[in-house]
Structure 1
């Protein structure tokens, strides 16, 4: 059986870097179990030439398998063991745009880009289309999108992206960034809607809708990606998006400090469990059968069992396989982040 060594991508965030190896092992096991028919095993770590690697055995990995693994959130390079030597393995990523789409924005509370990619990956791998990462155009909704890190990762993959956030400043900042970035990169795009949404002569929200393509050829051929972001409370997502219209719901929940959700009934909620209890049924209705929801949150303010119960009450089936339980990691002294993924039954 062939053995491989995965070199971990250096992380600018030193705290996340300390967790990266364990998270990569868990993510790799999830890839193997849900997309590669269990053909990955014997996961371990090794130091070769002073560098740390995650090692694994791959039973007859195909070109398609390697292409899937090219999208590991912390994967930097893949090698095959040849005796005691390492031979580079050619692999490719889905990335359709320059990486500054993800890295150029800097602001307090921004989710680490590598973790954002991991959360999107493990959610997709829990869906009914786990093996179609490189071939299907998924539609991804982030119902707590902030300034769009998850939306940008979805666009980077070639997916369609939708987002909701109640903070008008974040909405305006993301709109300004993305439209400016598209113009500066000379990426073909068309803004379909930008500004207030009025119903019965009242402003009920703000919306940005656009179409884009990474090349002029794809734009001309009509192979367009869509982006749709709405500045409303997340519990009103169903007013702007149709039921069963998204494949994946991916969210980094409020940590109880900078983010929250305002509703007429409860006012501002900084408790992620209260938010999840109220919003999860709304999000679940937007998922197509077979779709998956992935959420991360601070376990110091909500227990995993309680969060899982809220998703189950919304009609979703929690994915509690062992590798998903290994995604918990420390963000800082006050935040222990965990990941919970659930499917909508087919």
Structure 2
């Protein structure tokens, strides 16, 4: 049986790096079931030449489409065919169409690891009825400073977000406009007030851009829209069935994306998700998927699964993605599909 080896991208975050091989193993299992023609088996961690690899076997050789799909694994650096004691490099063809500094430039306290953000987006899209290499529309209802939005843009998707924090909204707006200007991409960008019944409901960043002038002139643009408002009010800004996937990294019990009825910031991730999920689900297209990462100290897998099922969503039987972040945070992923 053909054998392959994945060389894992070094992680600058030491703690996340300690979990990378195991998380990549789980991510590979999802790709094997949802994105590859070849069946993946015998996945194991091996040291080759003193370097850690993740090796696996397939029932038949990987096709070009299989290699292209695996090129998007969140922590993969290179893919090899194993031939005896030799490694034969396979040509990687990731979806990324923009410079990686879109993901890496921003540095701030509480930023979600970009490798994990990519993993979360990958496994959510793969659960949906839509192809990973399609032109998708991604919604992050608690987008912070836009790590998920930026990864969606890397893949050529359109990206939409909502966030309550005005400082995060201003920081992301300023960053994206500066980045587009420095890259000399043809674009339009504006921040406009949003009013409902003459009252100010929030602010909205609207961006359209293209990598080339020819694409921009032809209308072949990517779009970014971010609203500075309560996530519970998302339905006021977007039409039902507007998005292919909803992907969000729920804040870890410090402050969350809604003030709720009492006026104070919600401190329970599951309380917030329970309140917001009907809104998010209405915005999702049939066949679309919702991917949520959360701090398990704020609620169990069974509790979150029950919330998703109560909303009519089909929770996916995914492998283990739970991993330690720090003494107060153990993070996990759950994905569910809208029938």
Deviation at 1:284, TM superposition (A): 0.7
Aligned to 2:176: 178
Aligned to 2:160: 162
Residues of 1 paired with 2:92 and 2:268: CA distance?
Answer: 42
Residues of 2 paired with 1:147 and 1:108: CA distance?
Answer: 11
Q: Which runs of structure 2 are paired with 1:89-128 in the superposition (5 Å)?
A: 89-128=90-129
Q: Is the 8 A contact 2:127 2:335 kept in 1?
A: yes
- Write out per-residue CA displacement over residues 36-80 of structure 1, whole angstroms, 9 at most, x where no aligned residue: 145222111110111110001132311111111100000000011
- Write out per-residue CA displacement over residues 224-264 of structure 1, whole angstroms, 9 at most, x where no aligned residue: 11111001111111111111110000000020124442123
Aligned to 1:14: 14
The 3-state SS of whatever aligns with 2:299 is coil
Aligned to 2:53: 53
| Structure 1: runs of 5+ lacking an equivalent | none
Q: Is the 8 A contact 2:138 2:152 kept in 1?
A: yes
Q: Is the 8 A contact 2:230 2:257 kept in 1?
A: no
Aligned to 2:327: 333
Q: Which runs of structure 2 are paired with 1:170-209 in the superposition (5 Å)?
A: 170-191=168-189, 193-209=190-206
Q: Is the 8 A contact 1:254 1:270 kept in 2?
A: no
Aligned to 2:74: 73
Aligned to 1:282: 279
Q: Is the 8 A contact 2:163 2:257 kept in 1?
A: no
Aligned to 1:295: 292
Residues of 2 paired with 1:329 and 1:112: CA distance?
Answer: 13
Alignment TM-score, normalising by the size of structure 2? 0.97
Deviation at 1:280, TM superposition (A): 0.8
Aligned to 1:342: 336
Q: RMSD value over aligned CA atoms?
A: 1.2
Deviation at 1:35, TM superposition (A): 1.4
The aligned length equals: 338
Deviation at 1:279, TM superposition (A): 0.5
Residues of 1 paired with 2:52 and 2:94: CA distance?
Answer: 22
The 3-state SS of whatever aligns with 1:180 is helix
Residues of 1 paired with 2:232 and 2:204: CA distance?
Answer: 16
- Write out per-residue CA displacement over residues 188-240 of structure 1, whole angstroms, 9 at most, x where no aligned residue: 1112x413212333211000111111222322332111111001111111111
- Write out per-residue CA displacement over residues 271-308 of structure 1, whole angstroms, 9 at most, x where no aligned residue: 00100110011101111000000000000111111111
Aligned to 1:133: 132
Which of 148, 151, 156 aligns to 2:149? It is 151
Alignment TM-score, normalising by the size of structure 1? 0.95
The 3-state SS of whatever aligns with 1:255 is coil
Residues of 1 paired with 2:107 and 2:313: CA distance?
Answer: 34
Residues of 2 paired with 1:61 and 1:229: CA distance?
Answer: 39
Deviates more, 1:30-39 or 1:86-95: 30-39
Aligned to 1:239: 236
Residues of 2 paired with 1:36 and 1:172: CA distance?
Answer: 40
Residues of 2 paired with 1:233 and 1:259: CA distance?
Answer: 10
